[in-house]
Structure 1
Amino acid sequence: MTVELTPADYPLSINRPELLRTPTGKALSDLTMDAVVSGDVTAEDLRVTPDTLALQGRIAASTGRRQLAENFTRASEMTAIPDDEVLAMYNSLRPNASSAAQLEELASRLETTYSATTCAALVREAAQVYAARNLLAEEDS
């Protein structure tokens, strides 16, 4: 069952805490100082989850903020991508850093390895814009 979210649900941590879980499945109410001191809360519990980001995106969409909702969708997808690969993606997307073929290979990897279709679409869109503005790196010969 999908819960309808509106701007009144924001911030989720105050207005809808029952919807939030840590990556290890703990409820928001389980994140106490006593739990931290006893070692029951770890750094993994403090990471954002794809579900939380998707919920934030649904709130953004409910206000008509399509671009913000898409950003949350991409962020949700990126939680599955290792940090070093996210940094490499960032560097690849700099103007003149990658060729069209390299960007297509990145987009394909995002889709096949991480099921990050929204991120892949952004990379392909960037490749088109870079081509139109002459901001692609030269193809290796």
Structure 2
Amino acid sequence: MEALTREHYPLGLKKPDLLRTPTGKQYRELTLDAAIRGEVQAEDLRISSETLQMHAQICDSLGKTQQAKNFRRAAELIGISDTRILEIYHALRPRRSTKEELLVIAEELEKQYGARENAALIREAAKVYEKRNLLRQSEE
């Protein structure tokens, strides 16, 4: 596949043939008529990891590296349940987790889901929380 750049944005207008849902439906199949006929389900309306990666490429071409990283992290999270994501979100709140608990989450993300960017972010958070005294103290 060709590298995507600013000329390809917005993808839905300029490259709709590249867009698929997590269920494999093409972007063009997501019409009101299809929904009325019962051919579009809730799962069909979620964004795919591939689409998020394509948006990251476009951001890279514009020099928007932080936004590209955000899209890549989001792409990594697609395969994780909403429940688990919320649990991780709550664990990242100040004083909710020990350093060890955060490192276990990072390991889980990396090993179980291949979410290396998110694992690195959590490891970085653990270091910053430690430095700023924002970790929960272990019950020893």
Do these two structures clear the TM 0.5 threshold for a shared fold by scoring above it? yes
Aligned equivalents of 1:87, 1:25: Cα separation in 2: 26
TM-superposed deviation, 1:136:
0.9
Please state how far the C-alpha of 1:24 moved relative to its aligned partner: 1.4
**1:135 shift after superposition:** 0.8
CA distance in 2, matches of 1:134, 1:31: 48
Residue matched to 1:123? 122
Q: Could you say what secondary structure the match of 1:130 adopts?
A: helix
Matches within 5 A, 1:1-141: 2-141=1-140
For 1:111 and 1:34, how far apart are their aligned partners in 2?
41
- Aligned-residue Cα RMSD (Å) equals 0.9
Question: How many aligned residue pairs are there?
Answer: 140
Q: Residues 11-67 of structure 1: CA distance to partner in whole angstroms, max 9, x if unpaired?
A: 110111111001111111111122111111111110010000000011111111111
Which letter maps to 1:49? Answer: S
- CA-to-aligned-CA distance 1:97-130 (integer Å, 9 cap, x gap): 1111000000011111111111100000000111
Q: 1:6: how far off? A: 1.0
Distance (Å, rounded) in 1 between the aligned partners of 2:23 and 2:90: 31
Q: What amino acid does structure 2 have at the position aligned with 1:125?
A: E
Per-residue deviation, 1:140: 2.6
TM-score scaled to structure 2, two decimals?
0.96
SS of corresponding position for 2:106: helix
